[in-house]
Structure 1
């Protein structure tokens, strides 16, 4: 397959070996996310974790290069992974048809070279920002408007997506809308050319990052109508609440197919083990693992592969540690 990347070798500064070693998590598999995944795959990235809870709708067919009419109703990530097997056979694609916090665990984010956000919700962007900041992984975020878009990058210590928001926006609870539901008034419209343009800018930035180069500016607004791209100056807000970091981490000999009882066996009686996503129990929801049946599988409770589960010790000056689940295929199920 050396000839597949022969033209890459002619690009100054290109490092194909770095791409082969890289693992990138792409969150959101709509028009923007699938285009980013396609370009990263064709570039030769070694592994892509592709996360999205949605299914393909007919409106996706006019905007994404990886979907076909026969894919309508299928999970987006599965249809995209199948297409990438043909387009980018050297890239291992791991499709995760799940909500953000159940798709890729903090341990998996921490080991990735880069996380790419292609989300359509303010709340989801803030949640992903928080998770990336917790484990210090670089985050590349992109979004489109009807006739333009924005690309934003931040690493540990940089101004993040939440730094430029007011208090009201920082507590946003909007949910990502399904592409099948176009009747919602907040739908703003999108087109294939704009998605492709912003995705190409994002992927170019991603490749430079994977080659070890930091972008010259952290936020760029792309305005093709005026033929311009504008760098935007951002500064970290010391009051931004999304910059917490993980400190104490303890490895567990269980993966996310283990049980609630397996986790509770590793904590003291006075400690409180939590999940990131609420699970149903007795007609209500809870994030306390002690409320789950001991034999309940973590995966069935919405716990992601390689998650870091927070454990709180009440009355100990707020001591917080994390239990890291083993990779799938390792550890006791």
Structure 2
């Protein structure tokens, strides 16, 4: 099978397309025929040494956590999945050398989730890191909910920082599906259009001098949940608009590794700052996210494509390096790799 691999950290030039033996699933594992691979910032950061450092955990690694395809074989003690099942994949390369930038990949069965009928592989490959991170960000409020479903966020206001990004896009869609009023901050009219297409009720340019006043006009009592991509940049704005007992769910370090928080404003509203990382949130949270995301898929709540606010940029498998470069270069929307036809 064709497989993109690297055996040392570095820029995208370390990625090469090779022929590798077809892997066999072990107990509790499934082999998936990958149709589409999804690329995230975590993938290029891991490749450059941001995750592993100079010592890779495996002699050779195939990148990319997310993907979508068809179950090809199952190992012993696998229940609920069978050859021919269409699935979306998450954390394929977490603690393993077998990511989705190859024609077949082997993953633990719990990391392969059935795709509902009528949901395409482009959607499946766009879930994983973005949608599961968004789910976690929306379920860390002190007073709940711990799960998402229609009506779960009724009466709540959610502020999504960077609504044109992949996580922001999924957060808008999931929050809207769950009944929240969704506000998003953006930096341009073009990105505002994407956030609106995703389902945001309101967009505010965070560069406006009166951005906080605009958000407070929409949510006079403040926003309940902030899905935050750049707390170093946004700490001041967030403190001005957060509701009493509001939570700031921080999923990225865009803007730097350190932030300064205003103490008194946050103290006066009992603010909660919740850091999160998908790879360490635990099996219970991952399982809940997978179940709720699949329910949202059945309701048609997570479409992709420019008309849905998430433009797709596509590359063939042999151009995986260019796909990684596009994500590292902050390509707007979602970068996908077409691995093979279904």
Tell me if both proteins adopt one fold, taking TM over 0.5 as the criterion: no
Larger relative contact order (Cα-Cα within 8 Å, sequence gap ≥ 6): 2
Relative to the length of structure 2, the TM-score reads 0.28
Relative to the length of structure 1, the TM-score reads 0.28
